Amino acid sequence: MEKNETLSGDKPRPWQSYHTVYTNAKAGMEGVDKEKVQRIIYETSKGSKYFENEEKKEAVLRQKIENMRAQRAKLSAADLSHYQTVADRRILELEATRDLSRIWLHVDMDAFYAAVETLSNPSLKGKPMAVGGMSMISTANYEARRFGVRAAMPGFIARKLCPELIFVPTDFKKYTYYSELTRKVFEKYDPNFMAASLDEAHLDITEVCKERGMSCGEIAEELRKCVNEETGLTCSAGVAPNRLLAKVCSDINKPNGQFVLTNDRMAVMTFISSLPIRKIGGIGKVTEHILRDAFGISTCEEMLQKGGLLCALFSHSTADFFLSVGLGIGKTDTPQVRSRKSISSERTFSATDDETLLYQKLADIAEMLCADMKKGGLCGRTLTLKLKTASFEVRSRAVTSEKYICSSEDILKYASKLLKAELPISLRLMGKNSHYGLYSLLSEGENELFCVLIHVFLSGSFLTYWEMYLDGEGILNEHNLMPCRTYKMTNHFICFQAYACLISMKTRLVPHLIQHKKLSTTS
Amino acid sequence: MEKNETLSGDKPRPWQSYHTVYTNAKAGMEGVDKEKVQRIIYETSKGSKYFENEEKKEAVLRQKIENMRAQRAKLSAADLSHYQTVADRRILELEATRDLSRIWLHVDMDAFYAAVETLSNPSLKGKPMAVGGMSMISTANYEARRFGVRAAMPGFIARKLCPELIFVPTDFKKYTYYSELTRKVFEKYDPNFMAASLDEAHLDITEVCKERGMSCGEIAEELRKCVNEETGLTCSAGVAPNRLLAKVCSDINKPNGQFVLTNDRMAVMTFISSLPIRKIGGIGKVTEHILRDAFGISTCEEMLQKGGLLCALFSHSTADFFLSVGLGIGKTDTPQVRSRKSISSERTFSATDDETLLYQKLADIAEMLCADMKKGGLCGRTLTLKLKTASFEVRSRAVTSEKYICSSEDILKYASKLLKAELPISLRLMGKNSHYGLYSLLSEGENELFCVLIHVFLSGSFLTYWEMYLDGEGILNEHNLMPCRTYKMTNHFICFQAYACLISMKTRLVPHLIQHKKLSTTS
DNA sequence: CTGCACACA
DNA sequence: TACTTGTGTGCAG
DNA sequence: CCACAAAGC
DNA sequence: TACTGCTTTGTGG
């Protein structure tokens, strides 16, 4: 079942279709009757709109893979040797950036939400339980996992797999409280630790190990013990020379275990060599599938062996990522400032073609989003509307406003405009008076909307710099922020880096150069 | 004077500063006292705002060259050998695209505007004469050129060089009339000939030569004779296997001469080898300077020799261009459709800080532009406002509208908005009430505007595809064009390619796929 | 897309 | 007195 | 820059 | 009955 599926290979049984394979995922599922689980999932999903959409997506992916194969086949011998030299060269350069001087620890709480719920209600102990509802579950405890129940699985399927499964609704307050307790512990080992989510964090333990004269394994043991004492929860840890590897390592002896990869190039290379690429953070279902079926790559080692192909067919940065995975190279720095870049709110509801209802939903979400933004004192310029149809097709539409958007009115104004532009779909297709066409399309379930997201990007992928200009009072206020343009950074200007409304000074003041003005205001 | 100027070389005399070197340009200036001409130009220009701006630009260019030299110096041996293989590879690929099967002829009328004016007023014959005015001259006849008078030279400088110079104002009606006469002739040799301007054209004479069993040289002779009989004007011609080379060849025996480069690889390589790069169309003053001072490249041959460096330090497409120049490879096809991409109108006037006057100028230009657009039945979405300050600094600001812009009101509306955003420059720099600051800046001549251009781009740099949708009548009208988005082309959609308002069908109609709609309307 | 530099007639 | 006008391209952000 | 897809938790 | 909600990053136009 885990064998390489190739496009020309044996036809898998229907329930082995890749998109239903929850059991392929990262954490261990030892002792589970995987085939039975797959079959139940398949039979429960089959025929649903969701399933049909997954099949469509799978077909699109297959096509994409077919294209890559074709491109690969088109490469001449000269191309191949050329890209091989490119890859070899890049591998050398990446190797030169390898940093083995830092020790990173990745902590991952075991079945976090489920464990917290069990703490507050010990009667759950030993029984299969999941946090979430019938539509979606967030986590399952280990008892439930033995039935094939997993995070990100809809609840009604989980119940098919395990009829006695107990459902506990999510209660983020509780998880945040316990998360805070764990972070208090983490802080003691690395005051600048990086929280990845409520239940995961990266710690640079280089200094702690040195100061306290302990091995990193001992530190990890102590940290896990300490977390357990403070919270009553268990966690797993991975230690490695960089964050990428540490994350992989923390998964190895889960739950309540740890794994240390020593800061040694040989050890890293051995570790990485036969590692399935899917274990690597950043390589998800789609990328795994592409690499396997278009390039025959399943392990990290093969990333290096097929480096030439990767450089030929992927973008520079993607190829770079793949090659560094093959080398077991990852980030070792602690980024200075990590400011939030976007904020969003979305809600799924049952399918409808009632426009009034849709606008009402939109207004509700705008309200929620606005409240969240107010809480953080944030505002942004790019507003994205995300729509999901009854057939699970996802669309997004965005606008960028000249002014910053903060109020729920503004949010609603722009979001409505975007929604309006999408709405008379069927009318547009069939002509204004063709109600027959309208209803026949609706009855096909293609166009009703049942999910709306409003997403405000606080800044684009590029840095935006602002020239400061002094008004009568020499004050920089939110109104001088209006003229948003992105410029090449030069030190001829007084620049501010603006993320959301948070402003931090970037370069020194050079008053006599102010007159080389490049920006305009819209005030 | 023509020797390599390097940054560390001997200091040239002031009037040899590169930006004043009109005599460096392409067409022959045999028997001219170049040094004297240079000195007069220098002395006439020196101290002017224009001159100062040229010096500033020169400084910027020097800096750019210095940067390239630094980058070049930073290249490691490994880099060098790497890029050498890249270059070698690319040279092979380009060589494989060499097409020697076509014969191109480039015709260039001799001193066209001047010759036409002499036809209509024979008393000008034999006297130094220029077409244009005191600010700028378009062409000079050969008598005037002996004094150093050149196209694109301001008239007042030309008069310094040749006090008896006769100025004749430009009269495009006349030139267009004669241009039409020449084109009637060109048509007989290549019905698809490509007009490059009123006085230049490219002709693919492969078929004519074959059909009439004449050599290309004979055809060129005949064509030139025919043009002369029809118009009374002389022209020069170049014949070569591609347009790039034909253009160079037409310049060799100017005026009233021709030059044939045979369709033979060796002949081409010999021809190209010692050719100064500046003779190549597309390599202007700046590129010449960069290649010479940062890479020591002066001839086309050296493009190949330094191919590795060029690939290392220029973009893919630029390096490709340079290498094909080194190989003497150029375009040999006759492009199917060549539609206009933008239309603009601009006027230079004397410096002012009177905003009312500026808006008046803007309105005038909007009117002119609109008239030109009406004539061609064109409209566009991107409007660019170009400004030139009293110190010759050029700025441009653009907006893209959701709707197509055609009316002079709309043009003016958007252009005014852009202008307004630029206008209170000094106020913004100095604070609203700081009139002192305002005037001191104005008196420095930095901010008065005296040139306005409105430019409408009819389409972006990327192709824009439109999904067709059928309204009740199944008609595609200008209103369905409103939802402008740029999409990747897929054959799942009914696509139209839209340039301006001109619509041409692009793919076949696939009615049952219409429902996979991706566009929205803003109607 | 936007801003700008470059090129050519 | 006084250094254009119209169009196209490429690059970086 | 902007829109969108992919990924992770 | 019933397949989330929130955020970041990369890619191409």
**Model pLDDT for residues A243-263, shown as the tens digit of each residue:** 999 999 999 999 999 999 999
A48 touches strand F (CB under 7 A): yes
B418 contacts on A by Cβ (under 8 Å)? 520
B198 touches strand C (CB under 7 A): yes
Would you say the C-alpha torsion A26, A30, A34, A40 has a positive or negative sign? negative
Write the residue in A89, A397, A520 that is nearest to B422 by C-beta.
Answer: A520
The answer to whether residue A278 scores a pLDDT higher than 60 is yes
B258 burial (CB, 10 Å; 0-12 / 13-18 / 19+) is buried
Distance in angstroms between the alpha carbons of the first and the last residue of chain A: 64
Which is higher by pLDDT, B60 or A169? Answer: A169
Write the residue in A469, A471, A522 that is nearest to B421 by C-beta.
Answer: A522
DSSP secondary structure of B490-510 = -TTS-EEEEETTEEEE-S---
Distance D3 C1' – B51 CA (angstroms): 9
Q: What is the pLDDT of residue A29?
A: 55
Q: What is the pLDDT of residue A74?
A: 79
Residue whose Cα is closest to the C1' of D1: B134
Write the residue in A431, A521, A522 that is nearest to B470 by C-beta.
Answer: A431
Q: Of B80, B514, B520, which to mutate for an interface test with A (greatest number of A Cβ within 10 Å)? A: B520
Assign A488 to helix, strand or coil.
coil
Q: What is the pLDDT of residue B403?
A: 63
In the block, residue with structure tokens 């229907």: A14
Report yes or no: B442 at the A interface, CB cutoff 8 Å. no
B421 contacts on A by Cβ (under 8 Å)? 483, 520-522
Residues 6+ apart with CB under 8 A from A475: none
Q: What is the pLDDT of residue A368?
A: 80
Write the residue in B421, B432, B517 that is nearest to A520 by C-beta.
Answer: B421
Q: The whole model's pTM is what?
A: 0.58
**Which nucleotide lies at the shortest CA–C1' distance from A465?**
D13
Report yes or no: A421 at the B interface, CB cutoff 8 Å. yes
Assess contact for A157 and A50: CB atoms under 8 A: no
B470 contacts on A by Cβ (under 8 Å)? 431
Assess contact for B248 and B280: CB atoms under 8 A: yes
The values of phi and psi at residue B345, to 5°, are -145, 130
Nearest 5°: CA angle at B8, between B7 and B9?
95
B433 contacts on A by Cβ (under 8 Å)? 472
Residues 6+ apart with CB under 8 A from B54: B19, B20, B45
Write the residue in B86, B429, B520 that is nearest to A514 by C-beta.
Answer: B429
- Gap from B382 CA to chain A (nearest CA, Å): 17
Q: For residue A205, what pLDDT band results from cuts at 50, 70 and 90?
A: very high
B428 contacts on A by Cβ (under 8 Å)? 469, 517, 521
Report yes or no: A443 at the B interface, CB cutoff 8 Å. no
pLDDT less than 50: residues of chain B:
1-12, 15, 17-28, 424-453, 455-523
A422 and B521 within 8 Å at the Cβ level: the answer is: no
Residues B358 and A217: their CA atoms lie apart, in Å, by 74
Sheet of B342-352: strands edge to edge? B342-352, B449-457, B380-389, B394-405
Gyration radius of chain B over CA positions = 26
Considering only alpha carbons, which residue of chain B is nearest residue A471? B431
Assess contact for B4 and B292: CB atoms under 8 A: yes
**Which nucleotide lies at the shortest CA–C1' distance from B464?**
F13
Report yes or no: B394 at the A interface, CB cutoff 8 Å. no
Report yes or no: A422 at the B interface, CB cutoff 8 Å. yes
Q: Confirm whether B200 is a catalytic residue.
A: yes
In the block, residue with structure tokens 């890559």: A68
Q: What is the pLDDT of residue A448?
A: 34
Report yes or no: B301 at the A interface, CB cutoff 8 Å. no
- Gap from B433 CA to chain A (nearest CA, Å): 7
Tell me the per-residue pLDDT of A71-101, one tens digit each, with 9 for 90 and over: 888 788 877 888 888 888 889 888 988 999 9
Distances (CA, A) of A81 to A317, B74, B509: 20, 26, 43
Q: For residue A30, what pLDDT band results from cuts at 50, 70 and 90?
A: low
B422 and A522 within 8 Å at the Cβ level: the answer is: no
The answer to whether residue A222 scores a pLDDT higher than 90 is yes
Produce one character per residue of B354-366: b if its CB has 16 or more CB atoms within 10 Å, e if not.
eeeebbebbbebb
Tell me the per-residue pLDDT of B127-173, one tens digit each, with 9 for 90 and over: 999 999 998 899 999 999 999 999 989 999 999 999 999 999 999 99
- What would the mean pLDDT of A324-333 be, rounded to a whole number? 92
Q: Which two tokens stand for residue A276?
A: 């399935």
A522 and B429 within 8 Å at the Cβ level: the answer is: no
Residues B137 and A175: their CA atoms lie apart, in Å, by 79
Tell me the per-residue pLDDT of A476-523, one tens digit each, with 9 for 90 and over: 222 322 222 222 222 111 111 111 111 111 111 111 111 112 222 222
ipTM: 0.52
Nearest 5°: CA angle at B484, between B513 and B382?
155
Q: What is the pLDDT of residue B194?
A: 92
Q: What is the pLDDT of residue A31?
A: 67
* Residue A274, number of CB atoms within 10 A of its CB: 11
Which is higher by pLDDT, B345 or A436? Answer: B345
Distances (CA, A) of A172 to A178, A199, A342, B307: 10, 12, 20, 62
Q: What is the pLDDT of residue A8?
A: 36
Kindly name the residue from B117, B143, B200, B467 that is annotated as catalytic: B200
Which positions 54-93 of B are in contact with A (Cβ < 8 Å)?
Answer: 78, 82, 85-86, 89, 92
